[in-house]
Structure 1
């Protein structure tokens, strides 16, 4: 199906257009938050340091709080080969305005690296956050990950694969929960093993050609009874691959008794699932604020 070939690729321009249209809204909400931009989460002395992709932005509420605030690390989408934290500044602002310390990250992209390295980057960003977010008023014991599309798959992966943190010297996974917005890549082993649709071979660039790697970066295989809770959303009119994998992911969450909620949003296509986050009163924010225990 041609739609699957276009998955996560064409809509980046549409997202940028919507952001431009809502720039005035972004300026308005900026008065309620502070942005600390382009913080390196990988040491510049590291052999693989990338001066553009190993950066994150931190959004903090301007209002005072007697207690440390919950933290949401947002991972952008873009088919594992495009996207930038700079596109999603409104999400950072919206979260901060509603009492959350938001961390919006970059990570390396294909074809420069494959998905395992992207997952490493996301884990390193979360680790940096756990070590430094108290300096920005965030609670290192309440770190949640969030992502849309390819970023949703990466968020699910870092939330469930503890070995991603062990390889960087962390005794435990610091993530307390995941918010998955129309996530892609939940089971790329199944998807790439079938190769059902024209253009599926394009995903061999970010995922490589080895089935064991496809399996190793598919979050569905890491779910266990003690996995952190999940909020997951899918658009009623999203791409068939996402519709199928989110249903199966939900079934696995149910079978293991993992605390979760799965909501299919009526009439929503893939891109509106993220552009709705430019407005503060959507269902995802309402659920998220309760999920993380935010107080404005």
Structure 2
């Protein structure tokens, strides 16, 4: 057995034990050291405790790096920016200034208020990125699950960024991990009140906003996702984007689930899928 295989055989049971013993996200953060990155946390982009964000950047960053604004999932009812430090550290270690934003959740708000929060966070990044070593001309949005929906709606539906004096064309691209892009009629009982079901507006669905003006996309899904059907969501959206001649890269991974797709960004789980490599390549490609 090779040394790398031996290390994996020894460390994987310990990792699984740790994941079972406490919050999986807390464990991933604990096992994802900051390294040569730094974090500025708790910066307000609007009013109230849920309109704050954390900025992760390469240590001592002074040159203009690309900027990714990341939105986490949680079915629009839970989640916190601090739980996703492993995402910020991983991207910052690749030379990407990363903004992880909280947004208001149900029942405090419902559709479309969390999209307004997301757009406000992106507008903040556009204005302030240069202060943290970021290039506002190389701005991306990214999300996982419900957060991928948020990112998609900002990139596809111009209404939300327009309220902040921006347009989707100011985004260099967007990244969706296991996003729900077409989920009517709503079956999940938790999601129904978030989107006012059965009176959910048709235009709440990202698939109805595809146009040639949509920024380039990287769409990634778990091939056997049990929560968000990859064919209906990622596959359908990718096909619609291609029909409009929008550049899109569509990837499916075999060894991850809906939840471990984003977890594979963390150092201990990168053997599951090349998620970090593919995201970094999309963001850092010359001309991107």
TM-score by length of structure 1 reads 0.82
Compute the displacement of 1:15 (Å).
11
Partners of 1:209 and 1:113 in 2: CA distance: 14
Is 1:246 matched up with 2:206? no
Match of 1:158 in 2: 154
5+ unaligned residues in a row in structure 1: which ranges? 1-12, 43-48
What does 1:135-214 align with in structure 2 at a 5 Å threshold? 135-170=131-166, 173-184=169-180, 186-188=181-183, 190-192=184-186, 195=187, 200-209=188-197, 211=199, 213-214=200-201
Partners of 1:266 and 1:15 in 2: CA distance: 26
Compute the displacement of 1:25 (Å).
3.0
TM-score by length of structure 2 reads 0.84
Partners of 1:144 and 1:36 in 2: CA distance: 19
* 1:107-145 CA distance string (max 9 Å, x none): 000111112000000000000000011000100011101
Match of 1:103 in 2: 99
Match of 1:131 in 2: 127
Contact residue 165 and residue 173 of structure 1 kept, 8 A: no
Query: Secondary structure in 1 aligned to 2:265?
Result: helix
5+ unaligned residues in a row in structure 2: which ranges? 1-18
Partners of 2:276 and 2:140 in 1: CA distance: 13
Match of 2:9 in 1: none
Compute the displacement of 1:217 (Å).
2.1
Match of 2:58 in 1: 61
CA, structure 1 residues 124+16, in 2 after alignment: closer, same or farther (shift >3 Å)? farther
Compute the displacement of 1:23 (Å).
4.3
* Match 1:235 to one of 222, 235, 239: 222
* Match 1:17 to one of 16, 23, 33: 23
Is 1:258 matched up with 2:246? yes
Write out the 4+ residue segments of structure 1 that deviate beyond 6 Å after TM superposition: 13-16
Contact residue 182 and residue 234 of structure 1 kept, 8 A: yes
Q: How many correspondences in the alignment?
A: 264
* Match 1:35 to one of 35, 39, 49: 39
Query: Secondary structure in 2 aligned to 1:191?
Result: coil
Greater RCO (CA < 8 Å, at least 6 residues apart): 1
What does 1:271-286 align with in structure 2 at a 5 Å threshold? 271-279=259-267, 282-286=273-277
Contact residue 98 and residue 294 of structure 1 kept, 8 A: no
What does 1:69-84 align with in structure 2 at a 5 Å threshold? 69-84=65-80
Compute the displacement of 1:290 (Å).
2.0
Match of 2:204 in 1: 217
Partners of 1:271 and 1:89 in 2: CA distance: 16
CA, structure 1 residues 97+119, in 2 after alignment: closer, same or farther (shift >3 Å)? same
Kindly report the root-mean-square deviation, in angstroms, between the aligned alpha carbons of the 2 structures.
2.3
Partners of 1:80 and 1:15 in 2: CA distance: 25
* 1:186-243 CA distance string (max 9 Å, x none): 123x333xx5xxxx343221101364x4323211111101210111111111026432
